[in-house]
A and B are shown apart, each in its own frame.
Chain A
Amino acid sequence: DTEVTQTPKHLVMGMTNKKSLKCEQHMGHRAMYWYKQKAKKPPELMFVYSYEKLSINESVPSRFSPECPNSSLLNLHLHALQPEDSALYLCASSLSGQGRNEQFFGPGTRLTVL
């Protein structure tokens, strides 16, 4: 299995809703990432988990809350989002966080905040 899967593919939520994005990989990778991508822009790093511990938080607002239940799963909990948070949310994984190895990306979740 050489892919990263993400659910749901699309999500529409109101500003008062609570929702979660899910990501899964079974490649034995020990680093997992959340990125945010706006239209016509490159992916921007949000969080990095290394060996199931949060190692990088790129000053992301607290309305985004990551969670890594085990080495294969990564969640992003969403609460009280703003319309400007609408974007494609990408999950990625790599063998390790510090090494020079490729990151594999999932297909993303297209989030719309009304």
Chain B
Amino acid sequence: GESVGLHLPTLSVQEGDNSIINCAYSNSASDYFIWYKQESGKGPQFIIDIRSNMDKRQGQRVTVLLNKTVKHLSLQIAATQPGDSAVYFCAEKGNTPLVFGKGTRLSVIA
């Protein structure tokens, strides 16, 4: 079936640098996308979402970009901090339940 996937399973970033986490999705009917952060031993925590009628949305230190032409989603984290270390999942939704991508582990180097 169709699924959401990520290009890189791990990402190491220097503290203070910007992080970019990518996600490719294959269901062209998906019209809602969410980024979650999951720290060790915890449940996924909502970071930011975007609907398909937008191509960019900004939050506090985070920006999500959506390119529907190539079915690509990215999460940008500005001035990455040690507390940003976690696994990041993208998730998509259309007329089906939420489908999660494989996840990217972000490690912040102090």
* A interface with B by C-beta (< 8 Å): 4, 33, 40-45, 48, 56, 90, 92, 97, 100, 102-108, 110
Contacts and interface: CB of A to CB of B under 8 A. Distances in A.
Contact of A42 (B31, B32, B101): B101
A26 B69 CA distance: 39
A33 B103 CA distance: 20
A103 B51 contact: no
Contacts of B67: none
Contacts, number: 45
B44 A90 contact: yes
Interface in B23-71: 31-32, 34, 36, 41-46, 49, 51
Given A43-B100, A45-B98, A56-B97, A102 B43 contact: no
Interface residues on B, range: 20 to 34
Contacts of A104: 46
Contacts of B43: 4, 90, 92, 105-108
Interface in B57-106: 89, 93, 97-98, 100-103
